[in-house]
Structure 1
Amino acid sequence: MKKVPIFFALRLAIISTFSLLTLPPCSIARLAKVGDDLQAILDSGEDLELKAGETYEIKKPLRMRKTGQKISTQNAKTIGDYARLKLVAQDSARILDMGGIEGAEIENILFDGNRYAPRNPEKRESLVQAGGRKGNFQKVRNCAFINGRGWSFLHVFEPAEGIEITGTFMFGSGVDCRGSGASEVDKPFPWGDGVSLAAAKSKVWNNLIIDATDVGVVVFCAPGSKVFDNVVAAISRESLGAVNMVDTTAYYENPKGSKRFDYTDVEVKNNLADAKGARIHIAFPIGKHIWGPGENAGRSGRIVYGGSVLNNEIRGACAGYGIALHGVENFTVKGNKSSASYSRAGDGMHHVRTAYPAAFLYDKKTVKNCDLQDDFETSPLNMVHLLACNFGDRRDGGEGFRMYQYGASEAMGVIDTAFKEMLKRP
Structure 2
Amino acid sequence: MRLSLTSLLGSSLLGSLLVSAACTSNTTDTAGLQQLIQAGGEGYKLQLCAGQIYEISEQLNYTALNQEISTEGYPIDDTRATLKMVGFNKTTSVQAQDAGLSGAKLMNIQINGNRLESEDIYTAGGGNIEFGGQNQNQIIEHVRSYDPRGWSCLHLAEGTFNCLNITVQNNDIGPCGRDYFQNWADGISLSCADSLVQNNVIVDATDGGIVVFGAPSSVIRNNTISVQTRTMLGGINMVDVLPWLPEGNFSNTLVEGNTIHGGFATDMGNATFGSNNASAIIKIGIAVGPDVWFSDGRYGTNQSTGATIKDNVLSGALAYGMGVSSAKSFIISNNSFTGNTSFIGTYGPNCTTGTKTPHEPVALLLEPSSVTDLTLTLPENSQFQFVNGTALGLTCLMPPSGDFWPYGDGFNSGAATSSGSGDATTTNTASPSASSGSSSTPTQGSSSSASKSILNGSPSGVVFALTIGMIAGLITAI
TM-score of the superposition, structure 2-length normalised? Answer: 0.70
CA distance in 1, matches of 2:117, 2:179: 19
**What residue number does 2:66 align with?**
68
For residue 124 of structure 1, report the CA deviation from its aligned partner: 4.9
Matches within 5 A, 1:282-321: 282-294=284-296, 296=297, 300-316=300-316, 318-321=317-320
2:237 to 244, 254, 274: 244
The offset of 1:345, in angstroms, is: 5.3
The letter for the 2-side match of 1:272 is T
Instruction: Supply the distance in 2 between the matched residues of 1:69 and 1:300 (Cα, whole angstroms).
Output: 43
Q: What's the counterpart of residue 49 of structure 1? A: 47
Shift of 1:351: 3.7
Deviation at 1:161, TM superposition (A): 0.8
Trace 1:125-164 onto structure 2 (pairs within 5 A): 125-133=126-134, 135-158=135-158, 159=161, 160-164=163-167
1:225 is aligned to 218
Residues 1:202 and 2:201 are matched in the alignment:
no
Amino acid at match of 2:393: H
Q: Which whole-Å deviations, capped at 9, do the CAs of 1:294-345 have from their partners, x for residues lacking one?
A: 3x25x710111110111001111x2110111111111111111113211125
Cα distance in 2 for partners of 1:53, 1:228 equals: 31
Q: Summarize deviations over 1:181-227 as a string: whole Å, max 9, x none.
A: xxxxxxx5210001100000000000000000000110000110000
- Indicate the SS of the match to 1:341: strand
Matching residue within 184, 192, 209 for 1:191: 184
Q: Are the counterparts in 2 of residues 265 and 307 from structure 1 also a CA contact under 8 Å?
A: yes
Partner of residue 409 from structure 1, selected from 404, 409, 417: 404
- Gap change, CA 1:43 and 1:240, over 3 Å in 2: same
- Is the partner of 2:197 in helix, strand or coil? strand
Cα distance in 2 for residues equivalent to 1:371 and 1:212: 30
| Corresponding position of 1:173 | 176
Cα distance, 1:91 vs. partner? 1.5
Match status 1:213 vs 2:211: no
Q: Counterpart of 1:266?
A: 253
Distance in structure 1 (CA, Å) of the matches to 2:301 and 2:346: 24
How far apart are residue 354 of structure 1 and its match? 2.1
Q: Which SS does the other structure have where 1:323 is aligned?
A: strand
Q: Of 377, 390, 399, which aligns to 2:386?
A: 377
* 1:15-63 residue CA offsets vs partner (Å, 9 max, x unmatched): xxxxxxxxxxxxxx96311122110111112320111111111111110
Q: For the structure 1 residues 208 and 34, does the alpha-carbon distance in structure 2 shift closer, same or farther, using more than 3 Å as the test?
A: same
Residue 108 of structure 1 aligns to a residue whose secondary structure is strand
Distance 1:119 1:291, change over 3 A: closer
Matches of 2:58 and 2:400, distance apart in 1: 41
The one-letter code matched in structure 1 to 2:78 is G
Name the structure 2 match of 1:106.
106
Change (3 A) 1:231 1:115: same
Work out which of the residue numbers 386, 391, 394 in structure 2 matches 1:386: 394
Mark the CA change 1:325 to 1:214 in structure 2 (over 3 Å): closer, same or farther: same
Partner of 2:282: 280
Match of 2:361?
Answer: 357
CA distance in 2, matches of 1:164, 1:171: 19
The AA in structure 2 aligned to 1:267 is L
1:214-273 Cα offsets, whole Å, 9 max, x none, are 0011000011000000000011000011111110113x222xxxxx42111111000011
State the AA in 1 paired with 2:24: A
- Cα distance in 2, alignment partners of residues 236 and 384 from structure 1: 26
2:19 counterpart of 1:31: no
Distance in 2 between the 1:382 and 1:84 partners?
A: 45
> Per-residue deviation at 1:76?
2.9
Using the size of structure 1 for normalisation, the TM-score is 0.78
- The 8 Å contact of residues 30 and 48 in structure 1, kept in 2 or not, is answered as no
AA of the residue aligned to 2:371: V
Secondary structure of 2:87's counterpart equals: coil
Which residue of the partner structure matches residue 257 of structure 1? Answer: none
Tell me the equivalent position of 1:8.
Answer: none
Q: Distance in 2 between matches of 1:345 and 1:313?
A: 24
Q: State the partner residue of 2:88.
A: 90
Give the counterpart letter for 2:390 in structure 1. N
CA distance in 2, matches of 1:105, 1:64: 9
SS of the counterpart of 1:71?
strand
Tell me if the contact between 1:346 and 1:386 (Cα under 8 Å) persists in the aligned partners: no
Cα distance, 1:76–1:253 mapped onto 2, change above 3 Å: closer
**Aligned residues, how many?**
354
- Separation in 1, partners of 2:365, 2:334: 15
CA distance in 1, matches of 2:238, 2:144: 24
Report the Cα distance in structure 2 between the residues aligned to 1:120 and 1:360, rounded to whole angstroms: 34
CA distance in 2, matches of 1:210, 1:81: 20
Paired residue for 1:58?
Answer: 56
Asked if structure 1 preserves the Cα contact closer than 8 Å seen for 2:121 and 2:151, the reply is no
Q: Secondary structure at the match of 2:248?
A: strand
Kindly state the Cα deviation for residue 382 of structure 1 after the two structures are TM-superposed: 1.9
CA–CA separation in structure 1 for the residues paired with 2:346 and 2:321: 12
Contiguous gaps of at least 5 residues in structure 1: 1-28, 178-187, 255-259, 393-403, 420-426
Contact 1:72 1:108 in 2 (8 A): yes
What code does the residue aligned with 1:279 have?
I
**Cα distance in structure 1, aligned partners of 2:304 and 2:385:** 19
1:90 CA drift (Å): 2.6
- What is the DSSP-based 3-state SS (H/G/I as helix, E as strand, rest coil) of the residue aligned with 1:90? coil
1:336 corresponds to which letter in structure 2?
Answer: N
Q: SS of the counterpart of 1:302?
A: coil
CA spacing shift, 1:319–1:198, aligned 2, 3 Å = same
- Structure 1 partner of 2:472: none
Percentage of matched positions with identical amino acids: 26
Q: CA deviation at 1:346?
A: 5.5
- CA RMSD in angstroms comes to 2.4
